[in-house]
Each structure stands twice: as structure tokens, then as C-alpha cells.
Structure 1
Amino acid sequence: MDGARLIGALPPLRGKLTPGADMAKVTWFRTGGPADLLFQPADEADLSAFLAALGPDVPVTVVGIGSNLLVRDGGIEGVVIRLSPKGFGEARALDGNRLRAGAAASDKRVAAVALEAGLAGFHFLHGIPGSIGGALRMNAGANGVETAERLVEAVALDRKGRRHVLSAADMGFTYRHAAAPGELIFVSATFEGVPAARDEIRAAMDEVQHHRETAQPVREKTGGSTFKNPPGTSAWKQVDLAGCRGLTIGGAQMSEMHCNFMINTGSASAHDLELLGETVRERVFAASAILLEWEIARIGRFEEGREVLSFHP
């Protein structure tokens, strides 16, 4: 799809339009092909106008800060929407033990605002390298707490630019998943915490940070946890039992430090990374009859002749 031609069919917008945008610069893996067109809206009204004008046949993909994302080497068809911190990154305390945050606000920023407001229950966000939009879409969680436990309501735009307000019940949260329609683009959310002493909140945040720095390869090119935890066990334990700690394909490796983290050692293609993940899934199933589910989102087109088949037993 021609990104420049798409731009020509749109009305004047205040946001930034980039045809052929390099998605490798967006993801933490630092891999992936270009997007046909990248749009970074100025604010909610700008995004609404863009969606209302965009043809219904044009594919739309929404990305956040790219921490839990693998873009395939063939790039992404249609439009990629990326919300900027400038237009969607506000996070502030409200009355009634509540916080409001834009979808582009980092999880860590929201945890810091909660600390300043003396609200407990947000410490888990301090250790998640993502944004609120991603937390809503996948019910992000850590340290025994999930987004679902704190959410009051979320605001989203549909494919035609219309505004919707969803309650926590409307989101249909389950483990690392939200059942809200995939076409919805979250723009902000309101959360509720529990009043607590700042020293207590800070201690919980420090514990999260210590665990992350000592148990996870945070200084590598990684996408965070590769697989969801299966019922009754941990994904890393199953990866380890299958002999996949340190397993390498091309420039992709399952971390020696935390073997549920996949890393780009410097030269990995998206093909290397996805093939490594599927190889691990196959070996884990052979070892324990457990079928691991991806936690990392894989999007976009394969390069011709370099498709990766999803493992199915």
C-alpha cells in the first residue's frame, strides 16, 4: 500500500504523517520492516478526524512504546498509529483516590504519580516497561497485581472516530487479555487506588525495581516476557526444563539470565526471533505437553520465502 497516496486522500491534520516509517526504531527489539504509513496524532480530536476520514478498507495497527512487540521483516500494511506522550501522555491525580492517565503515559510514570498522591496499588506498574494503552489491551500485570484490579473506566475511539467509555466490566479482562473489540483505540483511562503512607508505597516500588534489575535482562534488546505463564507453573521453568535456556537462532537468543526473555544479541532479524520462539514452543511441548502461548505481540508481514509457521501439536 502506498503511504504517500494515503496521505493525499486525507484532510489537513495537526499530527505527523510518515510514509515508509522505519519500525525498527520503534520496537525494543530494534528489528522489523517499514510501516506503509505512520500517524502520530496531536491529540484525541486529531485522531478522531483521521479515523473518520480514513477509508474502511485501510488496515489500522496501533502500537505503543514497542516494548512487548515484534514487527516482522516485511513491514506493516496500511496505517500504524502511535500515540505520542505530548498528546496522550498526561498522568495526574483526581479526587476520590483516583488517577487519570493518557494511553501514551508510561506505566512507570503512572506509578510515580500514584506515589506522589499517596495511593497504593500501582507499584506493579513501576516494573513494567510499557504504556497505559498496552496495559489496557493486555491486562498488564506483575508482582501479583493486574491492571483490571485498578481500572475504573477507559476511553477509546472506534474505527470511525467515535468516542466510547468502557467500564472495567466492559473490558472483559482475563489473564493478560482484554476482550474489548480489537478496533478500539484507547486514549485514556481512570484508575482507583488505596490511600497509604508514601514510605510503604516506595518500599513496594523498590522491591519491584530490585527484582527487575537482578532477575531480568533489562539492558538487552528484548521484548519482556516472551510467553504467558501456563496454569499452575511458570513459563521460564518450562523453557528451562526443555533445555532452551541460552538457545540461539541467528542473532536471537533465549536469555541465560531469565530464559523467558528473548533477546536480540545485535544482529537478529524478526525472522530469527519468531523462529526461536516457535522452536521453544515445540520443544517445551515435546518435554512437558504444555503448549506455551506468546505474550509478545507479533505483527506485520513476513518477507517472501521467510515465513515462520506457528507450532501446533
Structure 2
Amino acid sequence: MNLKTVGMISSYRNLDQRGDWLWQQTPHQFGLWGNIKMQALAPQPDFLLMYQYDFPKKPQPQSLIDKLRKKLQKPNVDVSSRLRGVPKERIIYLLREPPLEEVVEKNKHYYQVATKYCGYISGPDDFAPVPDYMPAIWYHNNSFQELNEMPVPEKVAPCSWITSGINRTANHRQRLQFLESLQNHQIKFDLYGRNLPVSAKSRGELGNKWHGMAPYYYNLSIENYAENSWYVSEKLWDALLAWCLPIYYGGSAADKLLPPGSFLRLPSLDEKGIAYIQEVTATPDAWYAAKDAIAEARQIILHKLNLLNWLSEFVTKFS
């Protein structure tokens, strides 16, 4: 088989842009999956993935002081110089962030600029050139084979939530308010994450999300955005791969992608939602009832929704 190399560039600050990016998402060595090999830093790849790449912003009217400052700054990187000679039809642009009100115009700008460089442009919103869900990546350090073949880890605690203290949008602030309400109601769950308020009683940031999920029956998987039928993030994949039953707050994309019963729907981020969490997490009964559905969902995530599988299927169209 003639393997095609896929390179990658991104502006996403939480993404580890190293030579072995995504290698943990395949059972094979060196990032191989089907007809591709994922080599993020390849100097001359056959295909290039622009993953949440932030194109330069629209030029704004500048004052004399702004113009002087610009002259002192380093010039913007020429986008074309980062494309490594890959032809337009083989460049893929995937936007992974949700269409929050505060960033919609920025995302639309990225899509518009991407048409100059990319043959395929997609994102989890209705105004993307190709509206679609985000192919799955996950943030456990375990190997693909470990995740694929492992028995159910020992469950010893009821519920966890891994989140952050980001508050730059109204949706982020709503999530933090819900967190405060949960703790004020003394709902039993373990909280992990970075930059959380001191009042949040967090157990701290984790080096490996597995440690904050695998020992728990349930995980609170609460998206920053739940208003369309496209957006679903790693919050759901990570919980299921750790054999948690997610108590999920998000849009309807999850219903299309995963088997019935593999996650629970949190009805709302209010008193009703708090009561639901309290009732469900009081016993492991719901987890035991969902165990087979969780097993099925894990196989779908690992083998079908996997970003490497998506890239392999995309490359197949050119053969």
C-alpha cells in the first residue's frame, strides 16, 4: 500500500504540536492508520491538516501610534509559507471551537480566508462550508491498544468533573455558576482542573485525565455550547473511554454518533439539573445498566469517530 503522509499545523494552544501528534490514537507504530501516516511536522507531506488554525485577523483602521507599534513588531507569518507545498485540494481546514456568540464573526472570517488555501473546510456549525461534527481526539495518555483491550477499571467513587476556570464568554460563566451551585448544594463529586476559583474546592490540575475519570462511575461532561446539532467535544469521548457513564450537557450531535443509553442527558444547568445529578449519582445502578452501551460507544469512538480514521477516509477519495 502506498501510504500518504499527513502533516498538521494549528494555532490551538492546548495542542501538543510534536512529531508524534496523534500517534497514541492508533495501534500501529509511527502514526499509521490504514492508508495514511500521521507526521505532523513532515516537511513535504502529501496532505496537510489545518486544525483550528487562526488566520490573521481582518485589518482594522489604525491610529498613528498603532502604525508605529506595528513597524516595531515582527511581521505576520505568511500563511502560504506554512503550507509546505501541498496543493490546495489536499489541504483540510477543521475548526474545532463552538460557535459561541462572542466568536461567531471570527469563525466566519476564518472560513472565508480558508477558501483561499484549502480544498476542504469544515466546522461544527451551520455556517461552515461543510457543517459537520469534529472527528474525535482524546486526552488520555493510554495507548490505543490499552484503551481497546482493557477490562473495566475498578470503580471506587461516584462522580468527577474535569473543567477549567475559563470565563471569557457568557457560556463559560454559566458553567462556573452551575459549578458553584452544585457545591453549594453539597452534591458529592470530585472536581479537577486548571485555573479554577479558590472557592471551587478543586483537587487540582491533572497530568493525565485518566486519573480523574477511570476510578469513577459517572463523569459530568458539560459542553461550553449546546445549541446546535454539530458540536460535541472530547469531554464525551474522554469520559466514555475511561468507562464512565457521562452525565452530558450538550447538543444533539451525540445522539447521532453514539448508541442509545451510552450517556445520560443532563436536563439543564439549574436546580432541575442539580436534582438529577444528585439522584443518579446516589447509586451505581445507572452505570451498571449502561455498561454494555458504554462498551459499544468506546469501540465507535476508537475505530470510527477517530480523527485518524476520518483522515484515512478523506485520503481514500484521492486514490
| TM-score, length basis structure 1 | 0.32
> Quick check: which one's helix share is greater?
2
| TM-score, length basis structure 2 | 0.32
Of structures 1 and 2, the larger Rg is shown by: 2
> Quick check: which one's strand share is greater?
1
